[in-house]
Amino acid sequence: MPNREVELLLVEDNPNDAELTLRALRKNNLANTVVHVKDGAEALDLFFGDSAADGEITPKAILLDLKLPKVGGIEVLERLKSDERTKTIPVIVLTSSREDTDLQRCYELGVNSYIVKPVEFENFIKAVTELGFYWLLLNETKS
Amino acid sequence: MNSSPGYRNWTPLKRYGLCAVVFLVLLGLSFGLSYLHYKQDLSIPLLIGTILVAWFAGRGPGLALIVLILIAAIMRAEPRPGTPVSTIVFGYITAVVILGLLVVLVSGRRNASVTNRRLRRQNELLLNSVGEGIIGIDREGKCTFINPAAAALIGWATDELIGKPLHPLLHHSRPDGSPYPPAECPIGATLRNAAERHVSDEVFFKKSGDRFFVEYTSTPIYEDEEVTGAVVVFRDITEEKNARDALYQKGLLIEQSHEAIMVWDFEHGILDWNSGSERLYGYSRANALGKVTYKLLHTIFPVPVDEFLMGLQRTGFWAGDVVHLTRDGREVYSSTRYQIVDLNGRRTVLQTNRDITDRKRAENELRGLNDTLEKRVAERTQSLEEANKELEAFSYSVSHDLRAPLRAVDGFSRIVIEDYGDKLDAEGKRLLNVIRDNAQNMGRLIDDLLQFSRLSRKTLETSPLDIRNLAQDVCLELQSAEDATPAEFKIGELPESYGDRSLMRQVFVNLFSNAIKYSRKKEKIEVEVGGFAHNGENIYFVRDHGIGFDMKYADKLFGVFQRLHDAEQFEGTGVGLAIVHRVVSRHGGRVWAEAELNKGATFYFSLPRERTHEERPDAE
C-alpha cells in the first residue's frame, strides 16, 4: 500500500473553527489534501492505531488544537514527539490558550510552533494563511 | 545622803596610825599629869580615846590600843604598897574587859550604822540607776518609795506621791476604759495574799491622764512573816506592744495572703508554711515542716537545680517562673522569689510563690491563637492570591470562550457575503453587515470588560509620576497610530504626583480618545490638557470642544455601560469612563465633568499630592 500523501493534518474539535481554517487554506491553495480529525484519540489512532496498519500517513505539518475531547492535545503532542516514526513531523499548536503552563509544556515536548488563535475573524484568517504559507510552502521537510 | 567617810575607806595605815596617835596623846597626858604632879586619873581620857579609835578606826585598832594602854599602864605603874597583886591584876583585867567590850560595841555600832548607810546608798543608787519603774507601797497601797524612773514614766514628781494611795491615781481603769476596782487588782492581791503577780496587759495612767501599756511584777515585802507592803517593778511596753501588734498583724497578713509563703533553711528544711501554701499545694503545715521545698514540690526550675542553689547561695536572691507539683498531682506554674536573710545568725530563706497557672495558660493560649491567627492570615492571603489568579484565568478563558462563537458569527457572515454576495440584494447585504457589526461590537465589549476587571484588580504600584510627561507620551502614541484622527493637543503645566503609571496611562488614553471621538464632528479638533494644585490635591483636566453632553445626566457619566450618546453617532461601549473613574478612585482621587451641549466638555480628576494615600479597597 502506498503512503497516503497527506499534506496537512488538522486536529480540531470546534467545527466552526475547522471550517474557517480549511476555507482559509483552500482559498489560498495551500493544502490539497487535508485530513481533519475531531479528537485526540482519532489523531493517535491515525498514527499508531489499527488504521495506521493500512499505511502510514506522513503529513507535511500537523495543526494541533490543545482543547480536545477524549485525548488532549498535550498528550497527542507527547506521543507524536516521542515516537521515532512521528517525531520529525512539524507540529504547530493552534489554540485559544495563552497559559504559561501550556506554552512551557509544549515547548518542552518539542513543539515546532505555538500560535494563539486570534479572536477576530479577519486576523484569524490572516494567521492561518500565513501559517499555511510558511509551513506548507516555505518550510522544508524531510522527504 | 551624807557621806562621812567610814573607816572602811581608811587604809590600815591610817587606822592604826590613829590608834598610835591616840595612844601617844594619852601617854603624853599621863606624863604631863605626872610631871605637873596632878592625880593621874586617866579614866575619862582613856574612855574617850578608846571610843574614838573604836568608832573611827574599827575593832582592830581599838583592841590594839587597849593592848598598848595595858602595856603602858603596867610599865608606868608605880607599885602601891599595901595593895595585893591580885587586886591590881583584877583591876587591870576589869579595865581591859570593859574597854574591850566598849571597843566591840562601839565598832559594832559603827559597822552597823556604816553598813546601814552603805546599804541605803546602794539601794538609792540601784533605784536611781534602774530603767524600770520601781514603786514601794505599804499595806494600804500608799506609796512608800518611788524611783526616778517610775516618776518619769508616770509624770509625777517623787515627793508628790509619797504617802498617797496609788491605785486610784495610777491604776484606776482597764485598757478598755472600764473601771478597775482595787479588789480585782493583782497588786492588791499581792498585798492581801502575799501573791507574786506578773501582768503584761494592763495600763497605768500618767499625771496628765494619758495612759500607757505596762508590764509589771508585784512582789510582797515581808517583815516577820507578815506582809507589810509590796514592790511593784514596771516598764512601759507601749512600743513593744505596738511592735508586737504590728508583728501580729503582719503575721495575720501572711496567713491571709493568697500567695504561698514559706520559710526554710538549708539545715532544717521548712520552718514555716502559711495557709496560702496549704491551699495552693495541698500540704498541711505539719506535713510540710522539716521538708525540702523543691523536693516536696518537685520543682522544675528554668535552670538545673544545682545552678539555682548556687546562684541563691551566692547572691542571696533568686526569682523566676517555676513549675510545682501539688499534693494531688496537679502542675501549677509559680512566679517564685527567694531571699536569704540572717535570722539568729542563721541563713534563712524566705520564699514567696504566686500561682500564675492561669496567666501562663492564657499566655500559651494567646500564643497559640496568635500562631493560628498568623497561619490563618497567611492562608487567607494565599487563598486571596489564588482566587485572584483564578479570577484572572477565568476572565481570560471566559473571554476566549465567549469570543470563539463571535468569531464564527462574524466569519460566517463574511463568507456568505463573499460566496453569495452576487445573489444578495443590497438589503440582504445590509442585514448580514448588521450581524457582523454586532458580533464585532460584542467582541469589543468583552475586551473592555476584561480590561475593566483587570484594572480593578491590579495591585497599585505607586511611584512619583511626571504627569506631563505621561500625557505627552499618550498623546504621541494615539496620534502616531495608523488610523489616528488628527488633533491638536495643548498640554500645559501638569504638576507631578504619585500613582501607578500604567493605570494612569489608561486614564489618559481613555480621556484623550473620548475627547477626540466626541469632537469628530468639528472641523478642527482641539484638546486642552492642564492641571493645578488646590487644597493639598492636584487637579487635572482634559477639555474638548466637541459635542458635549447635557449636564442633567452628568451623574450617569461614569457608570459601566452608561452612554449619553447613541451608538450610531459615536461608537463605544461605555466602559471607558468607568475605567477612568475606577482607576482614579483607587488612587484616592475624584472624577467629575462639566459640559455644555455642542460647546464641549471638560473632564476633571484629582490625585493626592502626598504618598500618604493607602489604597481604598472598594471605592466606587
For residue B165, the cross-strand partners are B142
Confidence label for B59 from pLDDT (cuts 50, 70 and 90): confident
Is the residue at A50 inside a domain?
Answer: yes
Other beta carbons within 10 Å of B100: 17
Q: Is the pLDDT of residue B614 over 80?
A: no
Q: Is B496 exposed, middle or buried (0-12, 13-18, 19+ CB in 10 A)?
A: middle
Contacts of A117 in chain B (CB under 8 A): 407
Is B389 part of the contact surface with chain A (CB cutoff 8 Å)? no
Q: Is A67 exposed, middle or buried (0-12, 13-18, 19+ CB in 10 A)?
A: middle
CATH number at residue A90: 3.40.50.2300
Q: Which residues contact B37 (CB under 8 A, 6 or more apart)?
A: none
Distance CA B481, CA B161 (A): 130
Q: Is the pLDDT of residue B567 over 50?
A: yes
Q: Is the pLDDT of residue B615 over 80?
A: no
Confidence label for A143 from pLDDT (cuts 50, 70 and 90): low
Predicted pLDDT at A2: 43
Is B248 part of the contact surface with chain A (CB cutoff 8 Å)? no
Is the residue at A95 inside a domain?
Answer: yes
**Torsion angle of the four alpha carbons B244, B248, B251, B252, in this order, in degrees rounded to the nearest 10:** -170
Contacts of A96 in chain B (CB under 8 A): 400-401, 404
Q: Which helix (H) or strand (E) element contains residue B209? A: none
Closest Cα to residue B199, out of B213, B217, B223?
A: B217
Predicted pLDDT at A101: 85
Is A126 part of the contact surface with chain B (CB cutoff 8 Å)? no
Average pLDDT over residues B363-392: 85
Closest Cα to residue A94, out of A133, A59, A58, A68?
A: A68
Is the residue at A140 inside a domain?
Answer: no
Question: H-type helices in B289-423, by residue range?
Answer: 293-296, 305-315, 357-420
Contacts of B410 in chain A (CB under 8 A): 120-121
Q: Is the pLDDT of residue B605 over 70?
A: yes
Dig out the grid coordinates for B480 from the structure. 502616531
For residue B499, the cross-strand partners are B463
Predicted pLDDT at B240: 87
Q: Is the pLDDT of residue A74 over 70?
A: yes
- In this complex, which of B399, B401, B410 lies closest to A121 when CB atoms are compared? B410
CA B566 to chain centroid, in Å, comes to 80
Q: Do A125 and B411 touch (CB under 8 A)?
A: yes
Q: Is the pLDDT of residue B147 over 70?
A: yes
pTM of the model: 0.44
Mean pLDDT lowest for which of A91-100, A109-118, B26-35, B275-284?
Answer: B26-35
E strands, B293-361, are 317-325, 331-343, 346-355
Is the residue at A34 inside a domain?
Answer: yes
Give DSSP secondary structure letters for B69-117.
Answer: HHHHHHHHPPP-TT--HHHHHHHHHHHHHHHHHHHHHHHHHHHHHHHHH
Is B21 part of the contact surface with chain A (CB cutoff 8 Å)? no
Q: Which residues contact B72 (CB under 8 A, 6 or more apart)?
A: B23, B26, B27, B30
Distance CA B527, CA B519 (A): 9
pLDDT tens-digit map of B197-236:
999 889 999 989 898 999 999 999 888 888 889 999 999 9
Task: Report how far apart the first and last C-alpha atoms of chain A are (Å, whole number).
Answer: 18
Average pLDDT over residues B422-438: 90
Nearest residue of chain B to residue A125 (CA atoms):
B411
Range of the structural domain that residue A123 is part of: 4-132
User: What is the total count of domains within chain A?
Assistant: 1
- Give A94→chain B minimum CA distance, Å: 13
In the predicted model, what is the mean pLDDT of chain B? 86
Is A23 part of the contact surface with chain B (CB cutoff 8 Å)? yes
Residue B64 and residue B19 in contact, taking contact as beta carbons nearer than 8 Å: yes
Is the residue at A142 inside a domain?
Answer: no
- In this complex, which of B397, B399, B414 lies closest to A121 when CB atoms are compared? B414
Residue A113 and residue A127 in contact, taking contact as beta carbons nearer than 8 Å: no
Q: Do B407 and A23 touch (CB under 8 A)?
A: no
Predicted pLDDT at A1: 39
Q: Is the pLDDT of residue B331 over 80?
A: yes
Is the residue at A139 inside a domain?
Answer: no
Average pLDDT over residues B48-55: 85
Average pLDDT over residues B476-500: 87
Distance CA B432, CA B568 (A): 17
Is the residue at A137 inside a domain?
Answer: no
pLDDT tens-digit map of B435-485:
988 888 888 888 888 788 877 777 788 888 899 999 999 999 888 887 788
Q: Is the pLDDT of residue A9 over 70?
A: yes
Predicted pLDDT at B44: 82
Return the half-sphere exposure (C-beta side, CA atoms, 13 A cut-off) of residue B206: 13
Interface of A with B in 44-103 (CB under 8 A): 96-99
pLDDT tens-digit map of A11-57:
999 999 999 999 999 988 887 889 999 999 999 988 888 766 655 67
Distance CA B14, CA B26 (A): 18
How many residues does this entry show for chain A?
143
CB pairs under 8 A between A and B: 40
pLDDT tens-digit map of B152-176:
888 888 888 888 898 888 888 898 8
Which letter, b or e, does each residue of A17-45 get, where b requires 16 or more Cβ atoms within 10 Å of its Cβ?
Answer: bbbbbbbbbeebebbeebbbbbbbbbbbe
Q: Is the pLDDT of residue B108 over 80?
A: yes
Question: H-type helices in B9-84, by residue range?
Answer: 12-35, 43-57, 59-76
Q: Which residues contact A110 (CB under 8 A, 6 or more apart)?
A: A77, A81, A87
Q: Which residues contact B563 (CB under 8 A, 6 or more apart)?
A: B572, B574
Predicted pLDDT at B604: 94
Is the residue at A118 inside a domain?
Answer: yes
